Amino acid sequence: MLDSRQKSSILIIATATLVAVVVFAPTLPAAGVIWHTVQRGDTLSAIAKQYSTTVTALAQSNSLANPNLIVVGQKLRIPTGDGVLYTIKAGDTLWDIATRQGISLAALKEANPHLEPKRLAIGSTITLPAVGDRLLASRQGTAIALAWPLTGRISSSFGWRAGRMHQGLDIAASSGQLITAPAPGQVVSTGWCGGYGQRVILDHGRGLKTLYAHCSTILVKPGDKVQSGQGIARVGATGNATGPHLHFEVHVGGRPYDPLQFLK
């Protein structure tokens, strides 16, 4: 039989082993991570130029307090794309990182498509999306939430559909059903646009725009300010639509995102 002291030492060993496994879990480099070993004569601006990145991105990726102070032999992580790298620390969750960095969880996941959020290895690196994507988050650090522009069944989701990218969310509704603004904003454009039929685009600031297609009637005009919940159009089947539904798009910094990531 084990006395309590033996039991507790076994527990300590078991705990220590567990901690060691967590800390020394193989830290697979994030896809596309490049390392540069500082050579004699290197400057951060020269390295930035060499890898088509910026001094700021390099300094952020390597937590450099003083960008003028790099030493020969020092390994620098080179950020790929226009994002910057972040090293996972103990206790980090994707949500914490996104909130602290002022980016949305969706943008963070998109920048790291191979990441398993439940298995963040301490010391491994993830890519923080480019500053443009940080517009996804409000000044309070919480992601922008949009109200549903109407209630209805999702008839087609965002993503690839029969070899073509479906840039929005289709919400089935009856003809004439009111479509409301999901957040305060300003009307950018209204009117006919090819396959979209009668279309409304709203600008909500911070790089966020929403689009409503296949409308039967448009209730606003360009320049109008709209409040959340205000009627902007009515459901129809104009343009390339087989039946009445709302085709709803969310764009941030000019790129389409899955509206479901914003709808509350």
What is the contact surface with Zn ion in residues (CB under 5 A)?
A: 168, 170, 247
Smallest separation (angstroms) from Zn ion to the CB of 166: 6
| Between 33 and 237, CB nearer to Zn ion | 237
Q: Which residue's Cβ has the minimum distance to Zn ion?
A: 247
| Between 89 and 161, CB nearer to Zn ion | 161
Smallest separation (angstroms) from Zn ion to the CB of 261: 16
Backbone φ, ψ for residue 174 (5° rounding)? -85, 155
SS (H, E, C) 204-251: CCCCEEEEEEEEEEECCCCCCEECCCCEEEEEECCCCCCCCEEEEEEE
| Between 132 and 256, CB nearer to Zn ion | 256
Smallest separation (angstroms) from Zn ion to the CB of 217: 19
| Between 77 and 247, CB nearer to Zn ion | 247
147: nearest Cα among 217, 29, 48, 229? 229
Cβ atoms within 10 Å, residue 63: 10
Extract long-range pairs of 45-49: CB within 8 Å, 24+ residues apart.
47/76, 47/78
Smallest separation (angstroms) from Zn ion to the CB of 161: 9
